[in-house]
Amino acid sequence: MISAMSSRPIPLAQVLVLALAAVLPAAAQETPHPNRLAWLSIFPEPLPEGVSQLGLEATNQFLRPTRQDSPDGRSHAALAGEDWELVSDLAAGLGPGRINLRTRLDHRSGGIADRLIMNWHNIIGVGQGGRDEVPPFQDHWDLTRDGRVVFQSDRPRTLLQGLDVSYAVPFGDLGHGGRLGGSVQLPTGGERVLQSSGGTNFMVGAAGWHQFGFGRVWAQAEEIFIQLPKDSPLRTVVSRGQYWRAWLGVDLGQWQGFSLDLSVAYNETPYFTKLVRIDKYGLQQTWVVRHRRCPHWRFGFTEKAGTFATPEITGFTTYRF
């Protein structure tokens, strides 16, 4: 395995965000939710807090037909389908930190939510984004570049996605502190059906939090390092060996037993296809609700926040042991 592309300098703004996440004097922040766009699902998961938990996620994704071909005619993509994913974190103490194994069992198909999403768009009076131009419940996850197939999946599949083994060292306390760590993602299959990248990828990250009177402010930033096999078709569309992402959020505390954690994420993309919906960075909003009578449970959703590089919508529920 070798790096996808040569390394690039880390921008000053990125260094500042990483430093902020490391030193921000802000109660212990929970693991942020990742971008579930199919193209990004083959790269490392966010740095976890080191708590054993089990989650169920449902993601509906769609790429408008008029956005499927690049202006130069070299790239073609089709994205229409649904993921149901069982996400497991198994964590334990090790030395000064926590080691975590994240396992993702994913079922990918045409799904069941297309009509529901279209009806919701009608209710709130927004456009369908091209959903009304194609039959519902399609199952297409394709990307080609210069005639070479990078991804191709057009039938229901159940896959074990890349395994993430991470280690994080916390500092501070529940009122103000953070954690530093990293992970390695081990391949479980090939990239053609979006199971994993086929290579061993790495991530380093930092997080910080501070408790104010109105709630807890937190931030997390990470750098992803991609390694691909020499003959991987991903090399035709992955333009660099590194990219970064960051979250900024606030936990607004309790109101009649309910707590709301609201965050916005910025997610770069390592792709260069001249397809805007794949190449463009993604802004993502995530809403997580919990109640003091159900302290082990979390319920939430995440969707695009101003760009279309993120999934249409992901709903999830998590049980923390």
Which of these, 269, 180, 310, 221, lies nearest to 13 by C-alpha position?
A: 221
H-helix or E-strand spanning residue 290: strand 282-291
| Residue 194: half-sphere exposure toward Cβ, Cα within 13 Å | 26
As a whole number of angstroms, the distance between CA 262 and CA 47 comes to: 18
Which of these, 119, 175, 141, lies nearest to 42 by C-alpha position?
A: 141
Domains identified in the chain and CATH numbers: 2-320 (2.40.160.40)
pLDDT in the model for residue 11: 58
Q: How many CB atoms lie within 10 A of CB 35?
A: 25
pLDDT in the model for residue 214: 86
pTM of the prediction?
Answer: 0.87
DSSP string of 114-154, one letter each residue? HHHHHHHHHHHT---TTGGGS-SS--EEEEEETTEEEEEE-
CB-based contact 220:21 (threshold 8 Å) = yes
What is the DSSP code (8-state) at residue 274?
S
As averages over each run of 10 residues, the pLDDT of the chain (321 residues) reads: 48 49 50 88 94 95 87 92 95 96 95 83 80 84 93 92 96 91 94 92 96 92 95 93 95 88 94 89 92 95 75 89 93
pLDDT in the model for residue 61: 87
pLDDT in the model for residue 91: 97
